Amino acid sequence: MASYICFECGRKVSETDVRRRIRCPYCGSKIIVKERVTPTKMKAR
C-alpha cells in the first residue's frame, strides 16, 4: 500500500484521491510525493 504526501501542505493524501485527481484535496497542490512506506531496517552482519 503506497501513501502519498502533499509537497505543499505536507498532509497525507490517499492513493485513491491521487488516482481520481492528481491534486491535493486540502490545498489543491499538484505536487504530490510518494511516501516511503515503513523503511526496512536491515542489520548489517
Binding site for Zn ion (CB under 5 A): 6, 8-9, 24, 26-27, 29
What size, in residues, is the chain? 45
Q: Given the complex with Zn ion, which of 30 and 43 has the nearer CB atom?
A: 30
As measured in angstroms, the least distance from the Cβ of 38 to Zn ion is: 23
Strand partners, 19: none
As measured in angstroms, the least distance from the Cβ of 44 to Zn ion is: 37
As measured in angstroms, the least distance from the Cβ of 14 to Zn ion is: 13
The gap from C-alpha 18 to its chain's centroid, in whole angstroms, comes to 9
Task: Please state, in angstroms and rounded to a whole number, the distance separating the CA atoms of residues 45 and 30.
Answer: 42
